[in-house]
Amino acid sequence: MKAGIAVLGMVAVLAACGGGHTPEDTHAGSSEHVSGITVGMEEVQINVPVEGTVVARNRAEISTRMMARVSDLTADVGTKVRAGQVLIRLGTEDIAANRAKAEAAVMVASAARDEAEKHASRMDALLAQDVVPQVQRDQAHLQLKQAQSQLAMATATLSEVETAGSYASIRAPFAGEVVGRYIDKGDVAAPGMPLLVVEEAGPRDGRLAVPVGAASGLEVGSTIQ
């Protein structure tokens, strides 16, 4: 994009004031005598050509947070999209398998925790009756803590798998237009890899490379043509 910036500047204006002539100065070859020069300042407009680009106010590179194969691609370059519209769907086969494993691990850990709680309670009662030594009771409570830790880890793993499942649908962050596509259906998407580029609809901004000398004279309301 090419444009011109109108910059106001000041130039010096010289005005010569002629003096009077004497009879002796009227003969051929005589020169006019200048008695004085008046210096003034006049405001002028200078057009400075500049180059720049027109850009969207918001631009997003769409990527994924997990590695998976693209199972569906619903947008291409030129597609108008709504905010929240699904643009890419990733394969969830691995996610479903991992979720099943994580859920099973939580069930096993939960059952082990319940059993450890019962055993610890039983040891407390037997210790109170002087049937078992203190060390046996302490060991039961140590096993309970270990079972509780195992359950917490299994629950956290399940939560991570469920969160990963929410990443399977990649949506448009705002209403706009797809201006770039770097992946096809069936390709493997990886974290940090740009998949689509979306630019926001609406007013756009112009970015101009203005010379330093011209920029110093710019202010709000300066004319650009």
77 with 175, same domain: the answer is: yes
* Final residue belonging to a domain, choices 149, 166, 183: 166
Whether residue 175 sits in one domain with residue 119: no
Residue 65 CB partners (closer than 8 Å, separation 6+): 164, 167, 191
Separation CA 215–CA 118 (nearest Å): 79
* CATH of residue 67: 2.40.50.100
Q: Let me know whether 5 and 50 are in one domain.
A: yes
* Range 106-115, long-range pairs (CB < 8 A, 24+ positions): 106/151, 106/154, 106/155, 106/158, 108/154, 109/147, 109/150, 109/151, 109/153, 109/154, 109/155, 110/151, 110/154, 112/147, 112/150, 112/151, 113/144, 113/147, 113/148, 113/150, 113/151, 115/147
Are residues 2 and 42 located together in one domain of the fold?
A: yes
Residues 64 and 106 in one domain: no
Q: Is the domain of 157 the same as that of 104?
A: yes
Per-residue pLDDT 10s for the chain (225 aa) are 555 555 555 555 555 555 555 545 544 455 555 556 666 666 666 677 777 788 788 999 999 988 889 999 999 999 999 999 999 999 877 778 888 999 999 999 999 999 999 999 999 999 999 899 999 999 999 999 999 999 999 999 999 888 888 888 999 999 999 999 999 999 999 998 999 999 998 887 777 777 776 666 677 766 666
159 with 33: CB under 8 angstroms?
A: no
**Structural domain for 191, as ranges:** 58-90+169-202
**Same domain membership, residue 132 and residue 103:** yes
Domain with 130 in it: what CATH number? 1.10.287
**22: helix, strand or coil:** coil
- The secondary structure of 117-159 as a DSSP string is HHHHHHHHHHHHTTSS-HHHHHHHHHHHHHHHHHHHHHHHHHH
Same-domain status, 162 and 174:
no
The radius of gyration of the chain from alpha carbons, rounded to an integer in Å, stands at 40
Q: Do 11 and 113 fall within a single domain?
A: no
Question: pLDDT digits over 199-225, tens only?
Answer: 998 887 777 777 776 666 677 766 666
Structural domain tally of the chain?
Answer: 3
Q: Does pTM surpass 0.75?
A: no
- Pair (79, 16) in one structural domain: no
Cα-flanking dihedrals φ and ψ of residue 115, to 5°? -65, -40
Rounded Cα distance between 81 and 196, Å, is 12
- Regarding whether 132 and 105 lie in a shared domain, the answer is yes
Please indicate, yes or no, whether residues 9 and 26 belong to a single structural domain of this protein: yes
